[in-house]
Each structure stands twice: as structure tokens, then as C-alpha cells.
Amino acid sequence: MIEFSPMDLKQLQEKGISKEKVLDQIETFKEGIPFVRLEKAAIVSDGILKLSKAQEKKFVGKFEELKRLLSLLKFVPASGAASRMFKSLFNFLENYDPEGEDVDAYVDRLNDTDLKTFFKQIKKFPFYEIVQKRIKNKSSSANDIKYRFVCEMLLKENLNYGFYPKGLLPFHNYGEFTSTPFEEHLKEAFSYAVINNNAKLHFTISVQHQSLFTQEFEAVGPRVSKATETEFEVTYSNQKPSTDTLAVTLENEPFVKDDGSLLFRPGGHGALIENLNEQNADIIFIKNIDNVVVPKYEAELANSKKVLAGLLLELQQHAFAYADQLERNDINGEQLHEIKTFLENDLNVRFLESFSSFSIAEQLEILKDKINRPIRICGMVKNEGEPGGGPFWTRDANDHISLQIVESAQVDTSDESQMTILKNSTHFNPVDIVCGVRNFRGEKYNLLNYVDTKQGFITQKTQDGKALKALELPGLWNGAMAFWNTIFVEVPLITFNPVKMVNDLLKPTHQVT
């Protein structure tokens, strides 16, 4: 039995974490987290909807018709730092010796195609002119020296982009100014999430970046408001200290730092389910901070968002009517079958084979439980080799089958049959989600009740040279939404434009001209 010292208990109290929660985490480390069991890949006609143009038009019309009666919110996870974007540039600064070889020889020796592309097309990056103004007084014009100046200026001197939040980096060059992902999200909100000339956005950010985001909104907000004739209501939240998880030694004992305190680590983006749970809106659009486009693609992107939102409203109308009917116990045998069919065909709910053997009263309770859940409409793009999660039918320990977004790290790679299913996946999760978080009475669901706590991740890390095990909470769109009703819809590839590496800014979706 783990014994906590008075110092430990004080630390838990300050973070808002109960002793029982920490003990549960230690048990999770001991037991391990089981792999997700894939049943089959979700594909078009079996788990993924492919809508016709007529259906898309219908759902856009429905959304446009009803949105003025609703509250809309754009929820943007934006705490990520930009350091990973500049990995090849950091390596260049650390390893390149201008006295030993020229840049071309260095690139060829390492076969660093990313760095070669960066230098060859450097004038196309939105920050090129910013850097040029700052290095114009440097004495040498030699490329070898100039490239080093560029990288130092970007990542270290003055600009410090390598340690900036990704949401505040220059992404798009409009000539007179450059725009950040933050600004692009404001403009995007205008294209589909505005009601009566008002748009609401919520960004989850790191505590240390609060003032930077506030300054950015003060700087660009008036510009976007004037251009769109829209008032933007922007709010922020941080990942809660209470969602941090305990780190343990390889022997599953609490990891104690040199100062005697317990080591806690951020719980990953799954912790943001608590931030999402605190938002109050009828429809919530979720999209990552770095997934933005330049204006010429905005109309197509906005149309896709409206399609998903209209589909959500269509499904809610039926679900709410059935939920009300079930609540009033105004059901005959034929209607019971109708509701079950709706759940199966439209909300992708699967029932145990033993369902028909239950009493009518038991069947009604199951239907009430299944239909009274938050709904998520998840856009899915065709798989083009991008890393990350995808749509699958899964089977849990109780033989319940459901649609889930699964990361490759959740799958047993030593199981040949599971790997076959994983490789057969046809679509990819771009984090393009529209959420309905209210029930048929208009009451908001407590989203924390729909988390599968057994879908987290255990990873090995180091601290001060010592090995440890860390626990990540179930991902926001993985285990944190595991018990939602889920609909996957094929969406255009144009909806997925993340900037994972700096060279992604060279893609057409990030080039203004």
C-alpha cells in the first residue's frame, strides 16, 4: 500500500487531485492498459457516410435555416509549441560548421531533403521578409553565412519562433501583413459559425502564452472585425493542473524528484475534455490550431462544415423526438423496433445479440441509455499516408461493438490480424468534429460521464537521466469521446491542412498567391 507523506498530500491538494485518483493511476500502471480490439476498418457504406451533392445541399440548407435559433462555438486546441515544426533547422544550427563545409555539402552529406527544400524556396515563406529586414545589416552575403543568420534569427534571436505557440506564428503572407493561425480561425469562424454578426471562439492555450494571445487579438481582431462586419467573442482556458498524471518508476512506485516532491506530468490533449465540458453552446465545432487555409479555399471548407452541422441537426431532431417518446413511455412494439432501427442505421449503435431476449421494460431502458448521449459528427478524409488516428469498428471487453477513432499506438502491432485491419483503413481523422452536447430537453450533458478511462496511453520517458513511466489520459477524440454516438462522414481533403513541419507552409493551401 502506498503511503503518502504530509508533503505529498499538500501537493495533491494544491493541484486539486484526490489521493484516490492517484492510487487509481498507480493501479493502471500496474495492470497496464489493454490494446483496443479492432473489429474491422470503418469504410464507406460500413461506418462512413459518403453524401451525395443533393444531401449536402439539403444539410447546408438545414443548418442555415436553424442556426439563428442556436448558439454556436468554435473550440480550438491551441497549446502546442512550434518547436517540432523547425526540427531540421534546429539540427542545422547545432551541427553545421561553416568553416568545415558549405551548406550544399552539408545537406548532401546528411541527405536532408527538408532542409534543402527550405533553403531553396525560402522566399516563399511568410516570415522571409521579416527575417530579411533584420539581417540586412549583416556584413556577409555568402549563402552559408546568410542561411545560418536566417535560422538563428528565426529560432533564437529576437523572433524566437522555435519556442512560440504555433498559433501565433506567421502562416500566410498577404503582402501588407502576415497572418497567424489565430487570425485565420477568426476569419474561418465568420464563414460558418457566425450568428447576427457575432462569432464565439474558445482557445485552449498554455498558461505562459496567455499574454501573447491577448496581444494578438488586440492587434488583429479589429482588422478581421472590420473586414467581416463581425464582433468576435474570444475566450481562453488552460489545461487544468488537476488533470496532470503521476509519473512512476519502472517498478510502479511514485517518481520522487530531487526536491522530494512527486513528479506529475500533463495528461495530454485528452485532459481538454474538461475544458470542452465547460463550454456552453448548442453546436461546437472542433478543429486544431494549425489546420487553416488561405482565402481561396475558405468557401469549400465552410460548406463542408455546414454539411456536418446540418447532418447533426437532422439526426438530433429524430433522436430528440424518440428520446421524448421513450421518456413518456409512449411506446408500442412497432415503435420500439423503429427506434432501435434508427439507432442502428443512423447513429451506428450496435446491440448485443441477447437484446431480443430481454423484457420489454429492459429493452426500453437500453434504448433510453443509447439515445440519450452526446453526438459527434466526425469528418474523415481519404488516407494518403498521414500518421495518426483513423475510423474503426471496435469490440470492448464486454463484447460491445462501436465506432471509434483509434491511434496506431492503441493497437497490438504483434497481432497479425489486428495489423491487417489497421492497414486496411481507407480514411484518416483530420480532427474535424461537430458536437451536439445537449439532450432533448436542452440540458447539457456532463461529458465526463462518456469517457472510457481505459483508453489512455503509458509511455516511457526520462527525468534527470532516470527512466520513468508516464500516463496520458484518453485522447480528446479517442477515449474521451468513446461513449458518444458517433457518425463518420467523408469530407474533402481540402479540410485537412495542418502545418506539422515548416515546409508544409509551401503547400498551395498556405500560399496566398
| Residue 454 or residue 249, greater confidence | 249
381 and 298 in one domain?
yes
Q: Within a domain: residue 139?
A: yes
Q: Within a domain: residue 309?
A: yes
154 and 175 in one domain?
no
Q: Within a domain: residue 322?
A: yes
Domain final residue, candidates 167, 197, 218: 167
116 and 61 in one domain?
no
293 and 400 in one domain?
yes
> For the chain, what percent of residues have pLDDT higher than 90?
81
201 and 116 in one domain?
no
299 and 380 in one domain?
yes
Q: What is the secondary structure of 418-450 as a DSSP string?
A: HHHHHHT--EE---EEEEE-B-TTSPBP-GGGG
276 and 314 in one domain?
yes
pLDDT at position 409: 87
For 81, 388, 402, the CA distances from 405, given in Å and listed in that order, are 24, 10, 10
| Residue 355 or residue 389, greater confidence | 355
Summarised one tens digit per residue, pLDDT across range 214-270 is 999 999 999 999 999 999 999 999 999 999 999 999 999 999 999 999 999 999 889
Model confidence at 371: pLDDT above 60: yes
The confidence band for 143, taking pLDDT boundaries of 50, 70 and 90, is low
Q: Within a domain: residue 6?
A: no
Q: Within a domain: residue 1?
A: no
338 and 220 in one domain?
yes
**Biggest CA pair distance of the chain:** 86
Model confidence at 139: pLDDT above 60: no
256 and 159 in one domain?
no
What is the H or E stretch that residue 488 is in?
A: strand 485-490
Q: Which long-range contacts (CB under 8 A, 24 or more apart) does 205-208 make?
A: 205/78, 205/79, 205/165, 205/167, 205/236, 205/237, 205/238, 206/79, 206/81, 206/165, 206/238, 206/239, 207/238
How far is Cα 149 from Cα 135, in angstroms, rounded to an integer?
7
The confidence band for 388, taking pLDDT boundaries of 50, 70 and 90, is low
Do 393 and 401 form a contact (C-beta atoms < 8 A)? yes
Residue among 316, 301, 240 at smallest CA distance from 273: 240
| Residue 361 dihedral angles phi and psi, to the nearest 5° | -60, -40
Indicate which CATH number applies to the domain containing 184. 3.90.550
Residue among 292, 306, 75, 73 at smallest CA distance from 184: 292
Within 239-386, residue ranges assigned H as helices are: 272-277, 298-327, 333-346, 360-371
How far is Cα 138 from Cα 159, in angstroms, rounded to an integer?
16
Model confidence at 135: pLDDT above 80: no
pLDDT at position 429: 93
Summarised one tens digit per residue, pLDDT across range 12-57 is 999 999 999 999 999 999 999 999 999 999 999 999 999 999 999 9
What is the H or E stretch that residue 87 is in?
A: helix 87-95
Name the amino acid, one letter, at 47.
G
Q: Return the minimum-mean-pLDDT range out of 267-271, 364-368, 385-389.
A: 385-389
Model confidence at 495: pLDDT above 80: yes
Q: Within a domain: residue 25?
A: no
Question: 230-266 burial by CB neighbour count: b if 16+ within 10 A, else e?
Answer: bebebebbbbbeebbbbbbeeeeebbeeeeeebbbbb
Q: Within a domain: residue 148?
A: yes
pLDDT at position 137: 59
For 39, 270, 276, 379, the CA distances from 477, given in Å and listed in that order, are 19, 8, 11, 12
Secondary structure in 3-state letters for 108-176 = HHHCCHHHHHHHHCHHHCCCHHHHHHHHCCCCCCCHHHHHHHHHHHHHCCCCCHHHCEHHHCCCEECCC
Do 337 and 87 form a contact (C-beta atoms < 8 A)? no
How far is Cα 274 from Cα 267, in angstroms, rounded to an integer?
12
Cβ-based neighbour number of residue 47 at 10 Å = 20
* Gyration radius of the chain's alpha carbons: 25
The confidence band for 157, taking pLDDT boundaries of 50, 70 and 90, is low
Residue range 193-222: mean pLDDT, rounded: 96
150 and 97 in one domain?
yes
327 and 314 in one domain?
yes
180 and 135 in one domain?
no
Cα atoms in the Cβ-side hemisphere of radius 13 Å centred on 235: 12
What is the H or E stretch that residue 43 is in?
A: strand 43-44
Do 452 and 11 form a contact (C-beta atoms < 8 A)? no
Q: Within a domain: residue 239?
A: yes
Enclosing domain of residue 469: 35-77+169-493+500-510
pLDDT at position 129: 87
Number of domains in the chain: 2
Residue range 418-429: mean pLDDT, rounded: 92
Domain final residue, candidates 125, 151, 167: 167
pLDDT at position 158: 76
Residue among 194, 271, 204, 268 at smallest CA distance from 233: 194
pLDDT at position 386: 61
| Residue 485 or residue 83, greater confidence | 485
Give strand pairing partners of 402: 394
Q: Return the minimum-mean-pLDDT range out of 102-106, 272-276, 508-512.
A: 102-106
Residue range 134-144: mean pLDDT, rounded: 59
Domain final residue, candidates 122, 145, 167: 167
Q: What is the mean pLDDT of the chain?
A: 93
Do 283 and 64 form a contact (C-beta atoms < 8 A)? no
Residue range 381-394: mean pLDDT, rounded: 83
Summarised one tens digit per residue, pLDDT across range 287-306 is 999 999 999 999 999 999 99
The confidence band for 148, taking pLDDT boundaries of 50, 70 and 90, is confident
All cell numbers assigned to 116: 534543402
